[in-house]
């Protein structure tokens, strides 16, 4: 894994924690993509971010799922949230 910024590491920890508290489960696929988009300038591979998400979920004891919605509308139905869950509102 290439070196990552402290900003990305902190965002992973905060995002995983918030997702667990809000939803009760961490969707590794969805969160990893949202984090990748928010930190696109760092050019970190999705797989590396997914590994960080899984590590953080394990640290806090959060259950994980590995479901990738085919569309944003489907993701909204699954997560019961608006598109901002994908980081669109917070994208760089």
Q: pLDDT tens-digit profile of 57-89?
A: 999 999 999 987 666 766 665 555 554 444 443
**pLDDT tens digit sequence for 25-58:** 999 999 999 999 999 999 999 999 999 999 999 9
3-state secondary structure the chain: CCCCCHHHHHHHHHHHHHHHHHHCCEEHHHHHHHHHHHCHHHCCCHHHHHHHHHHHHHHHCCCEECCCCCCHHHHHHHHCCCHHHHCCCCCC
Structure-token match 């965002």, residue found:
11
Contact predicate 53/35, CB 8 Å:
yes
Tell me how many degrees the CA angle 29-36-3 measures, rounded to the nearest 5.
115
pTM of the entire predicted model: 0.74
d(CA 19, CA 1): 24
């Amino acid at each position: 894994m290439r070196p990552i910024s402290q900003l990305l590491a902190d965002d992973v920890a905060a995002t995983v924690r918030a997702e667990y508290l809000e939803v009760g489960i961490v969707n590794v696929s969805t969160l990893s993509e949202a984090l990748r988009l928010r930190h696109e300038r760092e050019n970190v591979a999705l797989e590396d971010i997914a590994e960080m998400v899984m590590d953080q979920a394990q640290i806090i004891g959060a259950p994980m799922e590995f479901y990738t919605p085919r569309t944003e509308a489907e993701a909204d139905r699954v997560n019961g949230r608006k598109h901002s869950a994908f980081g669109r509102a917070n994208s760089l």
